[in-house]
Structure formats: structure tokens, C-alpha cells
Structure 1
Amino acid sequence: QARISESSFNFKSGYGYDDLGRDQIEEVYATAMQAESALVRIQFSSGTHVLATCLRGLLQRGDDVLIATGIPYDTILPTFGELTLLSDDDEKAETFKYSASKQSLAATGVSVRAVNLTAAGHPDPERIEAALLPHTRMLYVQKSRGYSSRRALLSAEISQLRKLVDRVAPGCLIMVDNCYGEFVEDREPTAYGADLIAGSLIKNPGAGIAPSGAYVCGRSDLVKEVAEAMTAVGVGGEIGPSLGFNRHILEGIYFAPQVVEAATAAAVFAALLFQKAGFAVAPLPEDERGDLVQTIQMENAGQLKAFCEAVQAAAPVDAHFTPIPSAMPGYDCDIIMASGSFVQGSSIELSADGPLRPPYTAFLQGGLNFWNARLGAMLALERVLGL
């Protein structure tokens, strides 16, 4: 359909005008995500980068954002700047300040509020309906769990949010942080009514091949606004050279479903292995999954360190290094990260991390092939148990 050919891999530099391969990549992504349009660029450095660009591009002074999935992932919080977590009792609403930057949404006059999920981890329709305001511009949804104990949402759950928003606040758009969720299910949130989704190419859709970058898919008018926030008004997606990375990005999405399948199987194996050893795991081995992340509850910081050290030792790259807990931008405590990957920070490759704070949860994800990820899980259990 996109008419990919060898010429699609040509190197484009400078402004990047008339980059045929780049345009074809965006057609491939739009088709795969069942979206009107797509923006896929190597110039995005992370999921947080593309999400922040979407938020800044779509929101303006006086707008309101309602987060339907509680407090989101740590690294996006400074972009929000300030967030009010609503409660059934208005007097118990809590406001958290994350950044004094003039670039934050709060500093530009955007209000950000959040409602928690239900006790079972589903979007709470009653709380959301009560919180939607006439000037609520966006319902923001984080599909994955982030560094929390909540479950990942399934794409089909977006359809209920779509019906609710259309009934209560027809002018409100739904944006989904789709990181870690791509190709885990047979359809993406855009197929169920999300207006916009975004994610990183060094996660699922890049398959460990794309060296950097991120994507935005959804309504054409919204994608155009994000493109102008990425570059400049009037220029939008017309510039931004692919710099010879078109082949890597295309090969990445070509292999992504197969690689995600292997990583999902590895997560199920790790869940079953640690569950049988007496550890609390989520999701359970038999649960339906909406993302790649597997959590395993450690008893203390020492076990969390041992877990990550073992995953690092099983990696194909930098296996001889030992991960050291350290401060990281966007987090309020030390983080330990194991990632012996071909692409720096790639979480579709076997990786593990966790914040050194109670309840000392290890977050395991990725694996370019099942057998290497299986080895990592087995070695991690040995190290944690001191065998």
C-alpha cells in the first residue's frame, strides 16, 4: 500500500524536504495503527519527548486536562508542572507541584487534574463524568502501568471512554500514552476511538532496530498541530530529514509484532517462574495483557539490586558491568536500571529497573528473543534467592 522500494532507504539531509521514505513510513504507521495520519521522526529522543510535544502542541491557556488513569509516569510530571488529584470528597483533593519551569503546562495557564482508577484498575466512569468540565480539552490516558502497581489498560477499554466523552463533553479529545503497548493486542487504542496516540521507537514498534525516534498517530488535524509544535508553525512535518535511518525504522516496525510476541512470552514465563517461587507478580501468568511490563515484588532493596544485576549479566551487551542505583532526571528517588542493549535505553530489549523505594518492585520488560529473556529470568531468581 505504501509502495516501499529500495529508494525509500535513501539518505536525506538538511531540511528534509521531499523525503519520500519518511512519508512512506508515516503511511505505514497510520495504516498499522488504524489512524488518519502519522508523524514518525528520528528527531524525537524518547517517549517523554514526544508526549510533551503533543501536550504543548494541543493545549493552550485556559484549557483543562483530565487524566483518567491517576498520577502518570514520573518523567512526564514536570511537563504537567502541577497536578490536582481529585477525590470523591472535594475537600480531600490534593495538589502536587512537580516543576517551576516556565515551560510546564501549569506555567502556561493549563489546569491539570487526575482521577484514580477503580480498585480493580479500570477507568472509573462515574469519577470521570463528574470531573469533566465544559473547558476540558483533553482526557489523557496512560495505557501502561509506569512505576506503579496498577494494571495496564486494554485497548478495548478506550471505547467506553469514547462513549462517555462523546456524551458528556463532545469537544474533548482523548490522547493515549501508548508506550509499551504497541502490538501486544491485535488493535491499538486508535481503533477504539482514541483521537491521538504516541510512543517511542526504542520500545515496541522499533523492535530493537530503530536507533531512536518516536511516533504520533491519530486525527490528521491533531497530528498537524503536533508537527508544528515539533518544528514551527507553517512548517510542521515538511522538514526533519530522516538522515539515512528509514531502513532501520521500517525494518523495526516490520519485525515488531514478532519481537513483541517473544517479549510477551518471556514476561509470562517470568511471572510463572517467580510466582511458583512465592513472589507476588502482576500481571498473573494467565492474565490478558495490555503492555509488556511484568512486575515482581521484592522484599527489600538488596533483592531488587540482585534482580537487576542478574538481568544485566544475561544481556548480550555490557554483561560484565554492574548496574548502580543513581539519581535520574524526572525521578524523586534513586533508580536502578539493567539494560545491556544494542540501542541505549531500549526497553523492547531485555531490561529491568525499579525505584529504590518501598515496595521495591522490579519492572521487567522486553527481550528480542524468548530464550535470552528466559535465561535472564532464571538467573534473576537464582541471584535473588542467593543460590
Structure 2
Amino acid sequence: MTKRRVVVTGLGCIAPVGNTVAESWTNLLAGQSGIDTITSFDASPFACKFAGEVKGFDITQYISEKEARHMDRFIHLGMAAAIQAVQDSGLKTNDALSPEEATRIGCNIGSGIGGLPMIEATHGELVARGPRRVSPFFVPASIINMISGHVSIKYGFQGPNIAVVTACTTGLHAIGLSARMIEYGDADVMVAGGAESTVSPLGIGGFAAARALSTRNDDPKTASRPWDKDRDGFVLGEGAGVVVLEEYEHAKARGAKIYAEVSGFGMSGDAYHMTAPNVDGPRRSMTAALVNAGVNADEVQYLNAHGTSTPLGDLNETNAIKNTFGAHAKKLIVNSTKSMTGHLLGGAGGIESVFTVLALHHQKSPPTINIFNQDPECDLDYCANEARDLKIDVAVKNNFGFGGTNGTLVFKRA
């Protein structure tokens, strides 16, 4: 079977830097950090007291208060981003769809951890008041596939209804696997991405105990500093990013605006360590994506990196990029938007794919902020501290996760 072309026709984003795609993009280009002292709970006893929280978000702008009560916050964020993306795409929904059309639209919106705040709160209720006080909505409010489920129900989308869970590669894998479904005929349209909301006592406590988080409590806005010599760990963030993927001829036939083409997708496993990175796994993921796209390494101009601001991870990704792109690595613009959003875990690949598509669409690279003293071992062009106009025909997006899971997407200019 001939592989069908897949394009991006809708974008949605709820992020620490903005509650819409336009607001987020404007703030990214301006180098505005969304990271600050935690407000959702008292973080004073914790080693890390700051995060990239979503601010001023009101789920009742998207769904009813009654519906919202039966969902964890990660579902709220994912639903809102999906609704934005569907509206942006101009897709028909519900009764406007024919029975056949409804079966050709699917959902694949994942999360790395799921309803952690709901689990924490319900456990507290169980301990304090006993098992009869556990809500009958607890399980569907917490499980990861319920973003896809709720979006499907809201819009009458009866195609594939799944959710990917691959730690910090979740959102990217969801988009890549959804593109594959369209390429090989399982669907004509997929609503895909990732969401996360783990800025909570257990979320902060768990990552802090693993010594993964920055502890730069005196200056949160400069704490996420990918490729800086003084980086000391990642900053936890929350939010969601969702794209509408569509078969090219289907999009053309309905006159949809096309942001970019998803031309390649690669995956790999390190088979190395639970949490420590390995250079060869990311290299194989990037190489597989380029081969799948039919793109030579020297045809790529922009790479939105995983770039978490961890001492080992940033160096590892730099070396993997150099091993993949050879001499051309020095000509790439390599960018980490995590410097402004923090690390959204399962939501990272969602929002960062949105940002990569916007970089292609607007021909601009956002800055990597907080590079005050670039690590000499991290010796690529990271678009330090200021956005840059850039001719981008091909862009690459990386995400990597615990367990040695790696994913790479290749986007082409529409």
C-alpha cells in the first residue's frame, strides 16, 4: 500500500507561557519565562519550590462545571488544547458528520503519569474518612485514556480511540503513531498530543528525591537553562499540546489551512538504564525519522530538542545530534523551549510539536533563554537568548523518556 501524506491542520496549546497558541508563541519569541514559585500547594518543605504552572486557566470556558468536576486537571488541560485544535482546524463534528466520516476521525492524546493530584487527594480522603468516601468517578477521572475518550464523546469521533504512555516521549509518540495510522489508512484525521499536570506534592517530591530537579529557588525564572554550564536539573511544568493531523487530499478537498507536513517519524529504545540517557538510542531515533522522511541530514535547518537542562541529558543529546548530523550539526539551529515552559513530561512532545510547527510556519526560531555561560562541551548553535528569523524547510523534533524510550518527528514546510 502506498503511504499517504499527512499534514497538520489544527493547533491547540495550554502552557505555562500562555493559554492559547497565539499567546504562547508571542511569549516564547519574547523570551518570557513561565516558571515561578509554586502556588497550587505549599512547597516550602520541598527542595524545589518552583515550577512551570498554567496560570489563569478556566476549564468552564471549554466544558461545563458539572463535567469538569469528574476529571483530574490533566484531563482539563488536554480537553482544552484538543478543543482549541479542533476549532482551529475547522473540522465538522457531531451531526454535521456523516456516519462514514465519523468513523474516519480518531483521538490519541496521552499522558506520562495521568491523574496524580486526583490520586493524592482521593488517598487522603480514603485515609481520613474511609472507603465509603471514595468517589465513584475516581477511576475515570484519573486514567490516562480519558482525554481521548472525552474528546471522542464531545465531537462524535468514532475512529481509533487510544492513548500512548511513554513517559516524556508520550506526546511525540502519540503524534507520530497517529500519523502512521493515517498513512496506512486506519483514519483520515487524528486529534493527537499529550497532557500533564503533576505539579503536586508527590510529583515535586518524587522528582526532587531522584535529584532530577533544579533547586535554584532564589531565581526560578533562570532555573531552566539548557546547555548552560551551571544547569542543575529540569523544572517541572504542566500543560497540554494537541494537533489535528489529516490526510493531505482530505485536507485539500475541504479547503483546510495547512501548517506543515509530518514527513517522518522514528523510534528507538536504549536498552541501557531506567533513567540515565544513552547516546546511541537518540541517534538511531533521529536517523530512523530522517530515513522515513526521505530527508538527508544536510536538508534540516531547525531542531527543537528535548533539552531538559539536566547535566547529563543535555550533553547526551548534543553528542547524539553530532553523531546523527555529522559536520552539518554545526549549521543547525538547536532550540529548547523548555527553558521557558519547564518540562511537561508526557505533555512535552505535544506543546513542543506545536512550537516546532509554528517555527516552520512563521520561519522563526524561539530563543533558548538562560544561556549565560554555555557549556563548552555543548558546542552547537542553541539560538541563545534571542529569537531569530530563519529559513526553515525541514524541522526535527526530539523527545526522550525514562526507560530508554526515544522519538523523533520530521516536519516539512507546507
TM-score of the pair, normalised by structure 2: 0.29
TM-score of the pair, normalised by structure 1: 0.31
Higher RCO (C-alpha under 8 Å, 6+ residues apart): 2
